[in-house]
């Protein structure tokens, strides 16, 4: 089939590569426009755009999918199907109607669970033991189109959102190619999603990533892992924001008041509503990431002081 792939961030690249290596004819890639990046805020092409150029594939970067010029370009390409991974913009019905077999999205959850922009983060935060990826046909309603198939993935105790998403991007790439194959040969039939078990996964903002040390240690651990690497869990110390990496749960230490720090020769602990947690990596404002105990020595943290809220 003639396919146009749509995606933007790094997580979409395994699927782009898989489509490019398949028997299908990859005729173009659609991605978001170049965006400011780095300290100089220079315009930089999306990871998918950069990979497409390496593959020698035409790149379309509409400011908005509703742009008439984009619609005309897509019609002229005459795609049979448009596989999608994390494109980052809502597609109007006029665009959805162009490919004969529609737009097939790879969503990183077991739909209808976790519809929305941050399914992996919400799955981790909620404590799901199993998650996965779903291939489905895009319709106007958010992530509610009929599904073609799924892959599952067990959530590991130390997984961050980045870890889990990296694995799903690889297994999901194979699912997406198999789905396009099945659509072409007629072996796959889309099935409507169940109305039971629907949950939403809106984008997690910086303010949501602020650690609440009055929560139990398990909840603190889940929030941090769900917000790693983006937007980054954080707290404050001496009025400055400090990013907090994944923590280690403990059960053999004396309790500490929520947010209160305990410094040892080789470790830094923080109190929660239950057991203290041991900090791993931290990133003070304007500095590089470092081991928590090294940071504590550098700023002369004393046991008994506390993180802000």
Q: Tell whether the model's pLDDT for residue 309 goes beyond 60.
A: no
pLDDT bracket for residue 34 (50, 70, 90): confident
Domains within the chain, CATH numbers bracketed: 2-185 (3.40.50.170), 206-298 (3.10.25.10)
Q: What is the pLDDT of residue 42?
A: 86
Q: What whole-number distance in Å separates Cα of residue 26 and Cα of residue 108?
A: 23
Q: Rounded mean pLDDT of 188-213?
A: 96
Q: Rounded mean pLDDT of 169-184?
A: 98
More confident site: 160 or 35: 160
pLDDT bracket for residue 36 (50, 70, 90): confident
Q: What is the pLDDT of residue 304?
A: 94
pLDDT bracket for residue 156 (50, 70, 90): very high
CA angle 140, 103, 151 (to 5 degrees): 100
88 conformational bin, left if phi > 0, alpha if psi -120 to 50, beta if neither? left
Q: Rounded mean pLDDT of 181-191?
A: 96
Q: Rounded mean pLDDT of 59-82?
A: 97
CA angle 97, 100, 102 (to 5 degrees): 60
Segment 108-148, tens digit of pLDDT:
999 999 999 999 999 999 999 999 999 999 999 999 999 99
Q: Rounded mean pLDDT of 80-91?
A: 97
Instruction: Say if CB 110 and CB 126 are below 8 A apart.
Output: no
Q: What is the pLDDT of residue 178?
A: 98
Of the chain, the percentage scoring pLDDT greater than 70 comes to 99
Q: Tell whether the model's pLDDT for residue 214 goes beyond 60.
A: yes
Count of CB atoms situated within 10 Å of the CB of 300: 7
Beta strands 25-30 and 281-284, pairing class: unpaired
Q: What is the pLDDT of residue 308?
A: 82
Q: What whole-number distance in Å separates Cα of residue 272 and Cα of residue 20?
A: 49
Q: What is the pLDDT of residue 40?
A: 72
Cα–chain-centroid distance for residue 197?
21
Helix (H, G, I), strand (E, B) or coil at 155: coil
Q: What is the pLDDT of residue 241?
A: 95
Q: Rounded mean pLDDT of 269-288?
A: 96
Q: Tokens 């001496």: give the residue.
A: 238
Mean pLDDT, the chain, integer: 96
**Ordered alpha helix ranges (H), 66-157:** 68-77, 93-96, 119-126
Q: Tokens 């489905």: give the residue.
A: 136
Q: What is the pLDDT of residue 80?
A: 98
Q: Rounded mean pLDDT of 154-177?
A: 98
Q: What is the pLDDT of residue 245?
A: 97
C-alpha torsion sign, points 285, 290, 295, 298: negative
Q: Which residues of 100-131 are buried (b: 16+ CB within 10 A; e: fewer)?
A: eebbbbbbbbbbbbbbbbbbbbbbbbeebeeb
């Amino acid at each position: 089939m003639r396919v146009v792939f749509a995606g933007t961030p790094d997580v979409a690249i395994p699927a782009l590569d898989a489509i490019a290596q398949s028997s299908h004819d990859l005729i173009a890639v659609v991605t978001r426009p170049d965006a400011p990046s780095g300290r100089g805020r220079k315009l930089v092409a999306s990871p998918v755009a950069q990979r497409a150029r390496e593959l020698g594939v035409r790149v379309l970067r509409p400011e908005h999918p509703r742009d008439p010029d984009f619609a005309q370009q897509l019609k002229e390409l005459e795609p049979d199907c448009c596989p999608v991974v994390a494109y980052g913009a809502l597609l109007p019905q006029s665009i959805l109607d162009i490919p004969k077999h529609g737009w097939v999205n790879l969503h990183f959850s077991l739909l209808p669970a976790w519809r929305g922009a941050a399914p992996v983060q919400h799955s981790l935060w909620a404590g799901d033991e199993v998650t996965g990826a779903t291939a489905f046909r895009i319709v106007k309603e958010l992530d509610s189109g009929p599904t073609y198939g799924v892959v599952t993935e067990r959530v590991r105790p130390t997984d961050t959102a980045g870890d889990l998403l990296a694995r799903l991007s690889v297994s999901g790439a194979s699912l997406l190619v198999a789905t396009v194959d099945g659509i072409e040969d007629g072996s796959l039939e889309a099935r409507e999603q169940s109305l039971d078990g629907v949950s939403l996964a809106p984008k997690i903002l910086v303010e949501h990533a602020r650690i609440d040390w009055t929560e139990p240690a398990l909840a603190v651990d889940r929030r941090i892992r769900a917000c790693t690497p983006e937007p980054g869990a954080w707290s404050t110390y001496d009025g400055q924001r400090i990013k907090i990496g994944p923590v280690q749960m403990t059960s053999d230490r004396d309790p500490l008041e929520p947010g209160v720090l305990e410094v040892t020769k080789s470790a830094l602990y923080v109190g929660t509503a239950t057991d203290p947690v041991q900090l791993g990596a931290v990133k003070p404002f304007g500095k590089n990431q470092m081991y928590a105990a090294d940071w504590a020595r550098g700023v002369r943290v004393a046991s008994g002081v506390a993180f802000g809220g």
